A and B are shown apart, each in its own frame.
Chain A
Amino acid sequence: GAVVSQHPSWVICKSGTSVKIECRSLDFQATTMFWYRQFPKQSLMLMATSNEGSKATYEQGVEKDKFLINHASLTLSTLTVTSAHPEDSSFYICSAPTSGRISYNEQFFGPGTRLTVL
C-alpha cells in the first residue's frame, strides 16, 4: 500500500515555542492531506484539510493562526503549532488519499507525532 511518513515521531517542547510537524507521501502525489488530533482514549478529530497550492480549510473550532498549515508540494504538508501550550499536547496524525478523485476509497495514515508541551 501507499506510504505516508511523519517527522518527528515525537517532540517535547517548552510552553510558548512553536513546533513544526512534517507529513510526506513517499510513493504517490497528494493534492490533499488531512490533519487530525487525538487525545488519549479519544478518537481522531479532523483539524484541517491541507490543499496543495491553496489555503487550508479548517474545521469549526480550530484556530487558523495557531495551527499553521502549508502544503508546499504534492508530497509535503506541514503543520506548525505556534505558541504551544500544555493543552496542545496530543497525538497529531496526517493522512492522504492516494487519488484526487472523490470515488477513491482509501486514505493512508502517517505514523503520528506525539507532542508534549511542558
Chain B
Amino acid sequence: GQNIDQPTEMTATEGAIVQINCTYQTSGFNGLFWYQQHAGEAPTFLSYNVLDGLEEKGRFSSFLSRSKGYSYLLLKELQMKDSASYLCAVRRGGGYNKLIFGAGTRLAVHP
C-alpha cells in the first residue's frame, strides 16, 4: 500500500520561518515533489528531491531522507501570499511518471 502523511493545518506569522513535514510509505519511489495550491486553483510546482539532502530555491527549501521516508518544505521570510495548501507528492517507480499526493497542509500566515 501507500501512505503519505502531512499535518492538516499550520499557522505562522509574517516574516517567520515554517517547516512542513511529510512522511511517506509507498510501493516504489522515484522522487518527491512539493506543490503549492491556492484555493480553487491548480497546483504549482515548488521543488523536487530524488537524492537525500537539501534543495534550496530562493525562500523555499526542501529536504529528503529516503531511508527515513521523510521530507520537509521550509519556507523563509513568510509573506501573506504564502497562505495556501502545500502538497507533498511521491512519484512511484516504473513507467508513466505517476504522482501520489498527500492530503495537503493548509498554511495560514498572519500579520
Q: Are B41 and A107 in contact (CB under 8 A)?
A: no
- A102 and B30 CA atoms in complex are apart in Å by 9
Q: Which residues of B sit under 8 angstroms from A108, Cβ to Cβ?
A: 45
Q: Are A43 and B103 in contact (CB under 8 A)?
A: yes
Q: Contact partner of B87 among A34, A44, A49, A95, CB < 8 A?
A: A44
A21 at the interface (CB under 8 A from B): no
Q: Are B96 and A49 in contact (CB under 8 A)?
A: yes
- In the complex formed, the residue of B with least CB distance to A49 is B96
Chain B contacts with A in 94-111, Cβ cutoff 8 A: 94-104, 106
Q: Are B99 and A112 in contact (CB under 8 A)?
A: no
Contacts A106-B48, A109-B42; A43 near B104 (Cβ below 8 A): yes
Chain A contacts with B in 50-79, Cβ cutoff 8 A: 57
Q: Are B103 and A112 in contact (CB under 8 A)?
A: no
Q: Which residues of A sit under 8 angstroms from B69, Cβ to Cβ?
A: none
Q: Are B40 and A46 in contact (CB under 8 A)?
A: no
Say whether chain B's binding surface is mostly helix, strand, loop, or mixed.
loop
Nearest CB of B to A10, in Å: 10
Nearest CB of B to A62, in Å: 13
Chain A contacts with B in 1-48, Cβ cutoff 8 A: 1, 32, 34, 36, 41-46
Q: Contact partner of A111 among B31, B41, B96, CB < 8 A?
A: B41
Contacts A44-B101, A46-B100; A102 near B95 (Cβ below 8 A): yes
Q: Are B103 and A42 in contact (CB under 8 A)?
A: yes
Nearest CB of A to B18, in Å: 19
Nearest CB of A to B61, in Å: 17
Q: Which residues of A contact B (CB under 8 A)?
A: 1, 32, 34, 36, 41-46, 49, 57, 91, 93, 95, 97, 102, 104-112, 114
A-B contacts, 21 listed (Cβ < 8 Å)? A1-B45, A32-B96, A34-B99, A41-B106, A42-B103, A42-B104, A43-B101, A45-B101, A46-B98, A46-B100, A46-B101, A93-B43, A95-B99, A97-B97, A102-B97, A105-B48, A106-B45, A107-B97, A109-B42, A112-B41, A114-B40
Q: Lowest 4 CB-CB distances: which A-B pairs, in order?
A: A109-B42, A43-B101, A43-B103, A44-B101
